[in-house]
């Protein structure tokens, strides 16, 4: 029984590395050696429940880990108890410090659902030890970091200058494209486990207004949402109201330099 469980967890970990590979392949080319390295991180996963802190786990800079299942966020809590998310994290996303102590990478990560992570340090260690052998991988990892900053810049514009409808549409589209990259979208639908309160914390809106704005998007036939499954019914119309530029032309372009 115990061995069966361990084997099961192992499978999960392999799958988790596959998610990271999809993201890396979306921003660069990897050699078969590099692909093997990423696949080699098949250690036992660590799980935390919804609401628990994922990172940092103790003192000092947080170790790099890969989210292999569940959603998380980087919350900033204000004295009055309200919360503003800096970013939303999906399976396939890397968290923790990768040696440069970026404030975003150092900021706490909180689980929004049950979250499973595996240690990603072996990847960075290998890349640091043999830069020549892992040039493509190093570049792709750096591009994922840039992508994270590009999303942050979009977030600023969203919060500063967009209406509730635009923010929501923009955010849902971002999540849609990110979910698609990791292969979670089937027929323009994907699992979106965020509650309306959490969406509010991400977009600087109240729970009630998120509800009303979501209703409007449904009424207008742009999305459908039920039982935790979000379907983008009309990508181009949604992109139009959100003022959302296709990732290829902006966010990804910035990452690809």
112 or 255: CB nearest its own copies: 255
Considering the complex, what minimum distance in angstroms separates the CB of residue 242 from its own copies? 11
163 or 254: CB nearest DNA: 163
50 or 106: CB nearest DNA: 50
Tokens of 252: 């990804």
47 or 142: CB nearest its own copies: 142
Contact 242, 173 (CB under 8 A): yes
Considering the complex, what minimum distance in angstroms separates the CB of residue 232 from DNA? 17
d(CA 53, CA 77): 13
* Partner from its own copies, DNA, none contacting 163, C-beta within 5 to 8 A by type: DNA
Q: Which residues of the chain form contacts with its own copies (CB under 8 A)?
A: 61, 76, 78-79, 82-84, 86, 100-104, 106-107, 142, 146, 149-150, 152-153, 155-157, 159-161, 203-204, 243, 254-255, 257
The position carrying tokens 């967890």 is 9
Q: Which residues of the chain form contacts with DNA (CB under 7 A)?
A: 163-165, 195-197, 204-209, 211-215
**Contacts by residues 237-245 (CB-CB < 8 Å, ≥ 24 positions apart):** 238/169, 238/172, 238/173, 239/169, 239/173, 241/165, 241/166, 241/169, 242/162, 242/166, 242/169, 242/170, 242/173, 243/162, 243/166, 243/170, 244/169, 244/170, 244/173, 244/174
* Partner from its own copies, DNA, none contacting 214, C-beta within 5 to 8 A by type: DNA
207 or 229: CB nearest its own copies: 207
Cis check: omega of the bond before 56, within 30 degrees of 0:
yes
């Amino acid at each position: 029984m115990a061995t069966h469980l361990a084997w099961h967890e192992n499978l999960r970990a392999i799958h988790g590395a596959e998610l990271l590979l999809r993201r890396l392949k979306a921003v660069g080319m990897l050699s078969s050696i590099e692909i093997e390295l990423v696949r080699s991180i098949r250690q036992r996963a660590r799980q935390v429940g919804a609401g628990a802190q994922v990172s940092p786990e103790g003192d000092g800079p947080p170790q790099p880990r890969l989210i292999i299942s569940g959603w998380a966020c980087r919350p900033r809590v204000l004295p009055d108890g309200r919360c503003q998310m800096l970013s939303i994290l999906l399976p396939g996303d890397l968290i923790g410090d990768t040696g440069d102590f970026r404030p975003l990478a150092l900021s706490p990560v909180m689980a929004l659902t049950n979250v499973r992570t595996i240690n990603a340090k072996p990847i960075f260690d290998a890349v640091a030890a043999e830069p020549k052998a892992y040039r493509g991988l190093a570049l792709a990892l750096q591009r994922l970091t840039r992508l994270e900053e590009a999303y942050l810049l979009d977030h600023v514009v969203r919060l500063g200058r967009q209406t509730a409808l635009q923010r929501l549409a923009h955010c849902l589209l971002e999540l849609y494209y990110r979910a698609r990259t990791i292969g979670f979208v089937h027929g323009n639908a994907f699992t979106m486990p965020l509650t309306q309160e959490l969406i509010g914390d991400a977009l600087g809106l109240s729970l009630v207004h998120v509800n009303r704005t979501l209703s409007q998007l449904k009424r207008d036939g742009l999305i459908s949402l039920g039982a935790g499954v979000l379907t983008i019914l009309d990508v181009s119309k949604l992109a139009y109201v959100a003022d959302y530029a296709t990732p290829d032309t902006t966010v990804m372009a910035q990452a690809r330099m």
